[in-house]
Amino acid sequence: MNGEDEQFAVSSGETLMETLRGAGYYGVKNGCDEGVCGACNVILGDEGVTRSCLVPAASCDGAEVMTVEGLADDDGGLHPLQSAFLEHGAAQCSYCIPGVLLASYDLLQRNDEPTESEVADGLSGNICRCTGYVQQIEAVQAAADRLSGSDASSEGSG
């Protein structure tokens, strides 16, 4: 879990979402319970972004799982994506935000300089009802610039 070893007792039929929320990973949100909204996204090993409401917890034995709680550093210092979301007004009610951040993180792992439409495609599995997505796309691109060092103004931050 987010780079640490953790063990959870899992009852039969329990989803990964339920297990994680039950263990206090409340950043995993239950937005629809039917695999549509992306609010429960986690990054599951090599499979990348995964809807945890569709995954049986029992199938995750030994898996590496990353939740939004794993994005910030140990002192609460924000990941550039998180900073950019705040700076761009991309977080309104933010119930979708953990899932959006993880989808964005996953995208940037694969593509460190995504175009606007590549970011939009990267967020196609997330529903945000507040922002209209525009600020989120801007934030992801700004974070990409910061992470790749092409944004000189952000030196020393993040």
Lookup result for tokens 């945890």: 52
Nearer to other proteins, 55 or 68 (CB): 68
Lookup result for tokens 């695999």: 35
Residues 6+ apart with CB under 8 A from 1: 25, 65, 67, 70
Binding site for other proteins (CB under 8 A): 21, 24-34, 36-37, 39, 67-69, 71-72, 76, 78, 82, 85-89, 91-98, 101, 117, 119-121, 123-124, 126-137
Contact indicator for 100, 123 with CB cutoff of 8 Å: yes
**CB of 74 vs other proteins, minimal distance in Å:** 12
**CB of 118 vs other proteins, minimal distance in Å:** 10
Nearer to other proteins, 55 or 102 (CB): 102
**CB of 53 vs other proteins, minimal distance in Å:** 10
What are the backbone angles phi and psi of residue 51, rounded to the nearest 5°?
Answer: -80, 110
Nearer to other proteins, 35 or 62 (CB): 35
**CB of 113 vs other proteins, minimal distance in Å:** 18
The burial of 81, by beta-carbon neighbours within 10 Å (0-12 exposed, 13-18 middle, 19 or more buried), is given as: buried
**CB of 115 vs other proteins, minimal distance in Å:** 12
Nearer to other proteins, 29 or 60 (CB): 29
Nearer to other proteins, 32 or 63 (CB): 32
**Of 110, 8, 112, 128, which is closest to residue 56 (Cα–Cα)?**
8
User: Between β-strands 49-51 and 65-66, what pairing exists: parallel, antiparallel or unpaired?
Assistant: unpaired
Query: What token pair was written down for 122?
Result: 């990267």
